[in-house]
Amino acid sequence: MDINQRLSDLREVMQREHLAAFIFPSTDPHQSEYVADHWKGREWISGFDGSAGTAVVTMTSAALWTDSRYFLAAEEQLKGTEYQLMRLKIEGTPTIAEWIGRECGAGAEVGIDGWCSSASEVKALVADLRKQGGITLRTNLDPLRLIWSDRPAIPEHSVVVHPLEYAGESAHDKIARIRKALREKHADGMLMSALDDIAWTLNLRGSDVHCNPVFVSYLLISTKEVTLYINKVKLSSEVLAYLKTEGVGVAPYEAVQNGLKDYFEYNILLDPDEVNYTLYKSVVREIVEEESPVKRMKTVKNEREIAGFRAAMLRDGIAMVRFLKWLDSCSLPQTEISVSDKLEAFRAEQPLYNGLSFDTIAGYQAHGAIVHYEATSETDIPLRREGLLLLDSGAQYLDGTTDITRTIALGPLTEEQKRVYTLVLKGHIQIELCKFPSGASGTQIDILAREALWREGLNYLHGTGHGVGSFLNVHEGPHQIRMEWKPAPLVVGMTVTDEPGIYLAGKFGVRIENTLLVTPYKETAFGRFLQFESLTLCPIDTTPVIPEMLLPEETDWLNWYHQHVFDTLSPHLSPDEVDWLRNACKPL
């Protein structure tokens, strides 16, 4: 990749258009976290391939902002380019607007593609730039159209119907619920642009985005009509017929802007965090600015979806146990990539398997401290029979999505490794044990995963947990468990991960993750209380645990969990596998 040539091509366009800087965010017109190759413009212009980051190029300088998950990876990937790494949330790091102000001076004009940023992001950016001596923002130019000659096309993979057996509620019924929610917000219709929301609403799945079973489209709902804006080549006659019975019309993907202009009702709900700026500005009717009601609907799983999760977790657990047993006794040499491939092969043997839910993170020793490490042929290292392997992985099954992290002792450990492992495990278990009143948000319970770490002066800067889709994206909001305030309360039927970790740069990383389900706990004079049920079925390595650091309730939970894992998985395993599992699940 010749980043310098690309920068030079870009600057030619910028000069012609009198733009002092151009901003490349990491997303697509649908505000996707992971995007189709067509929209990997930030990666193309900077060489940095993390899922989150913003590149900014001026006539004489370039910089890339990313978060702590990617500090080490970005440093590596930006080497030898003009790009300066800007570490988000670290003291002294300027904001994008501040940096542009310093580099370009007052009165400059800078550019961003209005299709690839949300309305609220662009509005905030406009306000921030204005404070930098009145810098203005142009949004109607995509320089990549001119300079990215071998740019991949927008994907045209075909769409399939997600059976009611797994979805649990028809598209027709979901649309009726959405319309009711819109009426409650005094809105006549809405534009949906989040790809997982559209897939969930219509009970359709695709394969346009790596690991995310979604398809590129928009959905416009009014009181009378529902229109799916999509490239028709993606729709078989079967899917077309299905859409017709569900009351959904079809129009070309590119027609969405005109569809909005023709929208004839009084008002329309747009989620300014979801809808891109260009479409937002195309609306002629009154806009109701609200969070999309679909976000919260989708996160609350129905009975069929929960049953699907349980079935998928059982198969995923079987694959994990077979892998862990193999890893225990496999002959070396093995590398981070070879064990990732092996794990993928075990998962692929399972019924209803439909690929990975994200790229496996297999980080051995110091690589485990790179939070979103993905081994490549350049970074791959051989495993030895010592130290810790951090393994964060998951799969898509037709009936559910999995996300699990285990940190595995491959042999002797240092005292520091055992101590950190046990502290992280304590945090994990405290979330598993937590009971909370209905209405509590993840921010309120987050400390339970961290307090043991904080007492030792340790911390992790990522969230403790995120929602998980039902054969959909592995990251699903708006609820989360994290230090930052997230007002979305935890609701019965939501999935959420529990994944505290600690990362000691240059040494090792530890993370322990299960996917949990929010369930009722008890109802008293003080209201309804909720709890978590662990959906993930896989032993947690106990060999690094320092038992005297655990509270009795923590030891009890660990022993209970292992008995539960053993009882649930063993009927599906061979005698050899059962023997291995019995040992892995033996009480502390």
Q: Of the two residues 457 and 571, which places its CB atom closer to a second copy in the complex?
A: 457
Residue 126 binds to a second copy (criterion: CB under 8 A): no
Q: At what angle do helices 552-569 and 575-584 cross, to 10 degrees?
A: 170
Residue 571: is the preceding peptide bond cis (ω within 30°)?
no
Q: In Å, how far are 79, 156, 229, 331 from 219, measured between CA atoms?
A: 42, 17, 6, 52
Q: Of the two residues 446 and 476, which places its CB atom closer to a second copy in the complex?
A: 446
Name residues contacting a second copy, limited to 517-536 (CB under 8 A). 521-524, 526-527, 529
Q: Which residues contact 184 (CB under 8 A, 6 or more apart)?
A: none
Q: 3-class DSSP state for residue 360?
A: coil
* Least distance between a second copy and beta carbon 524 (Å): 4
List strand residue ranges (DSSP E) for 151-289, in order: 160-161, 190-192, 204-205, 218-221, 226-229, 249-251, 267-270, 286-289
Name residues contacting a second copy, limited to 473-512 (CB under 8 A). 483, 485, 487
CA-based end-to-end distance of the chain: 52
Q: Partners of 501 in the beta sheet?
A: 511
Residue 446 binds to a second copy (criterion: CB under 8 A): yes
Which residue in the set 81, 340, 393, 443 belongs to the binding site for a second copy (CB under 8 A)? Answer: 443
- Using the CB atoms, write b or e for 244-278: b if 16+ within 10 Å: eebebebbebeebbebbeebeeebbbbbbbbbbbb
Q: Partners of 62 in the beta sheet?
A: 57, 83
d(CA 154, CA 581): 46
Residue 435 binds to a second copy (criterion: CB under 8 A): yes
Residue 201 binds to a second copy (criterion: CB under 8 A): no
Q: Of the two residues 100 and 445, which places its CB atom closer to a second copy in the complex?
A: 445
d(CA 313, CA 565): 11
* Least distance between a second copy and beta carbon 542 (Å): 22
Select the span of 32-40, 226-234, 516-524, 539-547 touching a second copy (CB under 8 A): 516-524
Per-residue three-class SS string for 535-585: CCCCCCCCCCCCHHHCCHHHHHHHHHHHHHHHHHHHHHCCHHHHHHHHHHC
Check if the beta carbon of residue 535 is closer than 8 Å to that of residue 313: yes
- Per-position x/- string for 131-160, each x denoting binding to a second copy as judged by CB under 8 A, each - no binding: ------------------------------
d(CA 23, CA 112): 5
Query: 562: burial class by Cβ within 10 Å (0-12, 13-18, 19+)?
Result: buried
Residue 454 binds to a second copy (criterion: CB under 8 A): yes
d(CA 67, CA 461): 9
* Least distance between a second copy and beta carbon 124 (Å): 17
Rounded to 5 degrees, φ, ψ at 325 are: -60, -45
* Count of residues of this chain found to bind a second copy when the rule CB under 8 A is applied: 29
Q: Are strands 267-270 and 286-289 parallel, antiparallel or unpaired?
A: parallel
Residue 129 binds to a second copy (criterion: CB under 8 A): no
Name residues contacting a second copy, limited to 541-570 (CB under 8 A). 551
Residue 457 binds to a second copy (criterion: CB under 8 A): yes
Q: Of the two residues 244 and 522, which places its CB atom closer to a second copy in the complex?
A: 522
Residue 455 binds to a second copy (criterion: CB under 8 A): yes
Select the span of 46-54, 77-85, 430-438, 538-546 touching a second copy (CB under 8 A): 430-438
Which residue in the set 2, 165, 451, 579 belongs to the binding site for a second copy (CB under 8 A)? Answer: 451
Which residue in the set 170, 444, 559, 568 belongs to the binding site for a second copy (CB under 8 A)? Answer: 444
Residue 328 binds to a second copy (criterion: CB under 8 A): no
* Least distance between a second copy and beta carbon 529 (Å): 5
Residue 434 binds to a second copy (criterion: CB under 8 A): yes
* Least distance between a second copy and beta carbon 437 (Å): 6
Which residue in the set 146, 330, 440, 549 belongs to the binding site for a second copy (CB under 8 A)? Answer: 440
* Least distance between a second copy and beta carbon 588 (Å): 18
* Least distance between a second copy and beta carbon 552 (Å): 9
* Least distance between a second copy and beta carbon 459 (Å): 4
Q: Which residues contact 378 (CB under 8 A, 6 or more apart)?
A: none
Check if the beta carbon of residue 564 is closer than 8 Å to that of residue 581: no
Residue 436 binds to a second copy (criterion: CB under 8 A): yes
User: Where on the chain is the footprint of a second copy (CB under 8 A)?
Assistant: 434-437, 440-441, 443-448, 451, 454-455, 457-459, 483, 485, 487, 521-524, 526-527, 529, 551
